[in-house]
Amino acid sequence: MKKKTALTLLFIAIAVIIVGIIVILSFGKEEKTFVRVGQVEMREYDVSPKIPGRIDWIKVDEGDAISVGDTIAKLTDRELKAKYFQAEGAVESARAQLNMLIAGARKEEIEMARRQFDAASSQFELAEKTFQRMKALFEDKLLSAQDFDVAKQKYDAARAQKEAARAQLDMAITGSRSEQKDMARGQLRRAVESLEEVAAYLDESIITSPISGIVSKRFVDAGELVATGYPGITIIDPKDVWVELNLPALELENIKIGDVLAGRIDGLGINTKFKVVNFSAMADYANWRISADKATFETRSFTVKLKPVENKIQSLRPGMTVRFTIPKKNKK
């Protein structure tokens, strides 16, 4: 009985020793790899209207694939069309004014001005003869000063009327001044530019896609009011995808730009390869603090940018996580 108990204790002691050896070896053995998790990012484009307005209709929804130039939505354009017609009328009016100045007066207007000049000339001749007679009588003391002043006033008035009629006839014959024509041209140019501006705003009432991609978010519905620059939808470009992996500097030394790492995409269950394309330092508040030997120090954190080696991964979306198994490099 004592012999059996001794054998049992011996076996137990041997087992404890073996387990202890295994534990010591396992703790003493350094892991050759470590796992870190990154996040999928894609290039996003916020599509927003250039002008404020009310959504008339929207024809895309989240998950839809669209191509560059596809119509996304339309704003109500009744007010813009009214402004367009007003600007169009202003152009027609300015063009007619310029043409009238270039063409000059009509023949009938010139003839009427000529007859008015002839009539004024006839009245001036009569007033001049009358004034000469009255002047001779006044000099011979046969006419009072009052009557002479009246005759002189009529003479001066007739002469002014003749000069005015002459100027009116000359203006009808020579046409408008060059300054008036230049001013009319400027008014026409301003009206045309205003029309083009309204036409551009009218074109902006139709919202189109700037790129080919997938609608990831939709923020508006038909009938809603939107402001200038307010995003209506967000489009992602599945061709421009990358993974961001944050590592402290002490772990960054295990990889370099150009390395290819194996990763597993959570949510898709796909194993694929990613190429390291860039490092960038994170903000100061993202630094890691390490404790050792009763002292602390900070090490900078870096964002590692990786791009998938495979061109297109079906159903990949921003926000998915990727688990990377990173091999440790031997330190010299």
Task: Tell which residue, 90, 63, 10, 18, has the closest CA to residue 218.
Answer: 63
Query: Does the pLDDT of residue 291 top 60, yes or no?
Result: no
Query: Does the pLDDT of residue 255 top 80, yes or no?
Result: yes
Region of poorest pLDDT, from 168-172, 209-213, 241-245: 168-172
Who's near 319: CB < 8 A, 6+ residues apart?
A: 39, 40
Q: Mean pLDDT, to the nearest integer, of 70-94? A: 91
Tokens of 250: 């002490």
Q: How far apart are CA 134 and CA 260, in angstroms?
A: 120
Residue 274 near residue 323 (C-beta atoms within 8 A): no
Tell if the pTM clears 0.85, that is, is over it: no
Q: Which pLDDT score, from 0 to 100, does residue 249 have? A: 85
* Helix intervals (H) in the chain: 2-28, 78-103, 107-139, 145-174, 178-204, 249-252
Q: Angle of helix 145-174 relative to helix 107-139, nearest 10 degrees?
A: 160
User: Which tens digits make up the pLDDT trace of 301-322?
Assistant: 899 999 999 878 888 899 999 9
Domains and CATH numbers, the chain: 31-43+237-327 (2.40.30.170), 46-77+206-233 (2.40.50.100), 82-201 (no CATH)
User: Which letter does DSSP use for residue 331 in this model?
Assistant: P
The residue ranking higher by pLDDT, 113 or 290, is: 113
Who's near 189: CB < 8 A, 6+ residues apart?
A: none
Helices H / strands E in the chain, number of each: 6, 14
- Mean pLDDT (the chain, rounded): 82
